[in-house]
Amino acid sequence: MAMTKTLFVLFLSIIFFSSRLRFSLAADKNSLAASFVFGDSLVDAGNNNYLQTLSRANLPPNGIDFKASGGNPTGRFTNGRTIADIVGEELGQPNYAVPYLAPNASGEAILNGVNYASGAGGILNATGSVFVNRVGMDIQVDYFGITRKQLDRLLGPEKATDYVRKRSIFSIVIGANDFLNNYLVPFVAAQARLTQPPDAFVDSMISHLRDQLTRLYNLDARKFVVGNVGPIGCIPYQKVISQLKENECVDLANKLALRYNSRLKDLLLVEMKNKFNDANFVYANVYDLVMELIVNYKDYGFETASEACCANGGGRIVGILPCGPTSNLCVDRSKHVFWDAYHPSEAANLFIAKQLLHGDSTYISPFNLFRLRDL
């Protein structure tokens, strides 16, 4: 009886240490052990599935090309993979970062990283209130604080610190909703603009983001990549509500994005880098990347950069309603820059991700993501 019990304990120990070894070897082989993702619907991997919110993407045909799910919707706001998914794959991340709010976001699953992003979330806490529930950046950082303690328990404090500082990348894609679902919302904007002119609103965004990045640094984050705000005046939604022609964009929305982007670049590459010289901050120029696709879409094999693949209704409301089971679906999803009225298709995400991984300072500075991983 004693011998049987001893063998059983030994068997469990072998399984436990073999599992741990798999994670260790994966990290050694691929360099990137974990990806911690923060942001909005551009990189949400399913957190909003677990919220009572109007911002959800867990209905078909969302996810129709997401092979890992067999084409079933996962809560990603696109037809396939997000930019964060593709970047993680290319950098050798063993598995996709698990959504923080998912039931399986515990134990060794978090060693591949965790996705905290939430559709409608923003830098500012008030952003996205029209969607009822969402997880803003402040709370996302709170959630990482909980994950950080879990990593200490899983790996031990010393190894956990090394894991987070040297083997993990922190990706942040946020800010667009602070304009689209806050400052530019018609019934909110009038009051907001009376109290905060554009420069003051951007100042508030930068101030909050500075604090959020500092909190992540204090939790041992050392490798950051932060995306700027894309040309939000050119997304199908903005074109439809403003009744613009194919080659036109909403000027105010793009100007706001450019104001913020200029401040963001200085925050990352000058202020934060000087303040935290043992950390690396990478600025992802998503604005110019997406604008390149919109202007020269034919050069990259696309047929349209103004019409969403998944659209609802007709006439003036086409492209305004969320993508869902009653939507009209395009014939070839790989030929559309936009999946729905707000979000890029997987084909566009792939183009963007490749530039961030391999590109030069035109789109990613001071160096690309492969270089960041290998530091």
By C-alpha distance, which of 276, 298, 194 is closest to 306? 298
- Of 41, 55, 118, 345, catalytic: 41
What pTM was computed for the model?
A: 0.91
Asked if 340 is an active-site residue, the reply is yes
- Output the pLDDT for position 189: 54
Q: What is the rounded distance in angstroms from the CA atom of residue 126 to the CA atom of residue 147?
A: 25
- The contacts of residue 185 (CB under 8 Å, 6+ apart) are 130
For the chain, the domains span 26-374
With b for 16 or more beta-carbon neighbours within 10 A and e for fewer, the 184-217 pattern comes to bbeebeeebeeeeeeeebbeebbebbeebbebbb
- Of 44, 55, 178, 343, catalytic: 343
Fold of the CATH domain 26-374: Rossmann fold (3.40.50)
- Of 65, 178, 220, 340, catalytic: 340
- Output the pLDDT for position 37: 98
Cα atoms in the 13 Å half-sphere on the side-chain side of 178:
26
- Output the pLDDT for position 12: 40
Asked if 361 is an active-site residue, the reply is no
Kindly give the parts of the chain with pLDDT less than 50. 1-28, 30, 315-317
- The contacts of residue 355 (CB under 8 Å, 6+ apart) are 289, 363, 364
- Output the pLDDT for position 175: 98
- Output the pLDDT for position 318: 52
